[in-house]
Amino acid sequence: MSSFSPMATRDLAAVFHPMTQISTLNEQGPMMIVRGEGIHVWDEAGNQYIDGLAGLWCASLGYANEEIAQVAYEQVKTLSYGHLFLDKSHTTAMELAEKLKQMVPGDFSKVFFGLSGSDANDTQIKLVRYYHNAIGRPRKKKIIARQKAYHGITFAAASATGLQPFHQGFDLPVEGFLHTDCPHHYRFAEPGESEAEFATRLAASLEAMILREDPDTVAAFIAEPIMGAGGVLVPPETYFEKVQAVLRKYDILFIADEVITGFGRTGEPFAAQTFDLAPDTMSLAKALTSAYMPLSAVMIPEFMYQAIAEISKEWGIFGHGFTYTGHPVSTAVGLKVLEIYERDDVFAKAARLGEQFQTHIARFADHPLVGEVRGRGLIGACELVANKQNGQAFDPASGVGKYALARMKANGLICRAIGDSLALCPPLITSQDELGELFSRYGRALDETLEWVRREGLLAA
């Protein structure tokens, strides 16, 4: 007889859960979330939680926003479906594309809509290949990403992803994808190496890879401004400045993956502004609709669009797109979300709250379990270590991160354990009081984890 609730039992019998260790899920059962409001969610037993990860880094305006719900309802009544194939279009896709061109920093002339960050990055890779074929450079196809990067789970996006669990069992990455060094100073710097020196070494390593491969075969470099699923890894001082110089030297396109960092997360409207990036293209999703509807956007420069338009005279149809590209309900919701961001000055308020967030999380630098605190704006993480003095990591088999995550949940906080790094990314609408309560729960869970680690004898001498 099942020890799970009737709802959890039904879920296990019917739902194939993504991104999940299936055997563990079958033993422990799912956490059934039944309601959300503001920054809180409730499970089937009525327990309330602060959603400290904004869903999956995406629910920027929180839950149950009446304005957004009303817009979705009205759009369903007006035009519930429309597509963009051939000569068809509709007004909400047009208006959202216009708004994004106005809002997103960079020289972009067209917007391609999809449904997720994964398909946005998959589209990027296909566009890069198509573009180079169109301008007569068919050898220029290789994509360079980074170790610990996360760019999605389609065949191409997962190949760009630099995390082994997303390759295991899928025969990935496929040919044509390379992974250069992870820019995590705490873990990968040499003894005594400053952030600037580390950045110089990584840029030189990237250049060496390009030269080994032959610059005429390397098409693009894709990077998250802050590496989210890799552990909230913030680039070291001068890193992107030096990397962009290498890319320009060898005429390699720069794809900025702002799926997590876009729309106010890092203290600026876009992380391209936070880190002084000048990407050729940009991927957006998640906070584009505050996750109320699935939607992604690829920002495309005029030089790329014109090359594709010109070759269409010879090749005919541009054979890429989705049934739900620019779905009218999703794009209507996106327009409303961007309106709320501007009308309520959400980004400026989030920037101020982000300063308080970083002050709160920085206090855990002195905690006996914490080796590094990192973040920017309203995203951050604490990395737990067995030896605070030398940064020695816990044996993964000890499950410290998983235990800490369970203590967070027991204290009414949802966050994410990325190995032994405990990540936070709360909704942009979080209040100061709610932020204080979030970190109070986070701190209690860390203290309870410390007690367990000491009882288990897991701290290194």
What average pLDDT values come out for the chain (461 residues) when binned by 10 residues?
86 96 95 98 98 98 98 98 97 98 97 98 98 98 98 98 97 98 98 97 98 98 98 97 98 98 98 98 98 98 98 97 98 98 98 98 98 98 97 96 98 98 98 98 98 96 73
Structure tokens at 448: 């309870």
Q: How far apart are the first and last CA of the chain?
A: 45
Instruction: Give the span between the Cα atoms of 410 and 406, in whole angstroms.
Output: 6
Q: What's the confidence (pLDDT) of residue 145?
A: 98
Is residue 301 located within the same domain as residue 369?
no
Q: What's the confidence (pLDDT) of residue 2?
A: 63
Judge whether 355 lies within some domain: yes
Q: What's the confidence (pLDDT) of residue 1?
A: 47
Contacts of 383 (CB under 8 A, 6+ apart): 186, 231, 370, 371, 372, 373, 374, 420, 421
Residue found under tokens 């010879």: 314
373: part of which helix (H) or strand (E)? strand 370-376
Which of 286, 319, 343 is the last residue in one of the domains? 343
Judge whether 289 lies within some domain: yes
Judge whether 59 lies within some domain: yes
272 and 258 Cβ atoms separated by less than 8 Å: yes
Residue 172 is part of which domain span? 68-343
Query: What's the burial of 444, exposed, middle or buried (CB within 10 Å: 0-12/13-18/19+)?
Result: middle
- Give 33-101 as a DSSP string: EEEEEBTEEEETT--EEEETTHHHHT-TT-B--HHHHHHHHHHHHH-S----STT---HHHHHHHHHHH
346 and 264 Cβ atoms separated by less than 8 Å: yes
166 and 208 Cβ atoms separated by less than 8 Å: no
Judge whether 317 lies within some domain: yes
Judge whether 175 lies within some domain: yes
Q: Provide the domain count of the chain.
A: 2
Is residue 336 located within the same domain as residue 274?
yes
Q: What's the confidence (pLDDT) of residue 461?
A: 73
Is residue 193 located within the same domain as residue 120?
yes
Is residue 262 located within the same domain as residue 144?
yes
61 and 428 Cβ atoms separated by less than 8 Å: yes
Q: How far is CA 200 from the centre of its chain?
A: 25
Is residue 413 located within the same domain as residue 326?
no
Is residue 161 located within the same domain as residue 250?
yes
Residue 414: strand pairing partners: 51
Which of 343, 376, 401 is the last residue in one of the domains? 343
Is residue 357 located within the same domain as residue 428?
yes
Cis previous bond, 279, omega within 30: no
Among 398, 395, 361, which residue's Cα sits nearest to residue 381? 361
79 and 88 Cβ atoms separated by less than 8 Å: no
Is residue 59 located within the same domain as residue 90?
no
Instruction: Give the span between the Cα atoms of 56 and 194, in whole angstroms.
Output: 33
DSSP designation for 253: E
Q: At 73, which amino acid appears? A: Y
426 and 436 Cβ atoms separated by less than 8 Å: no
Q: For residue 132, what is the domain's CATH number?
A: 3.40.640.10
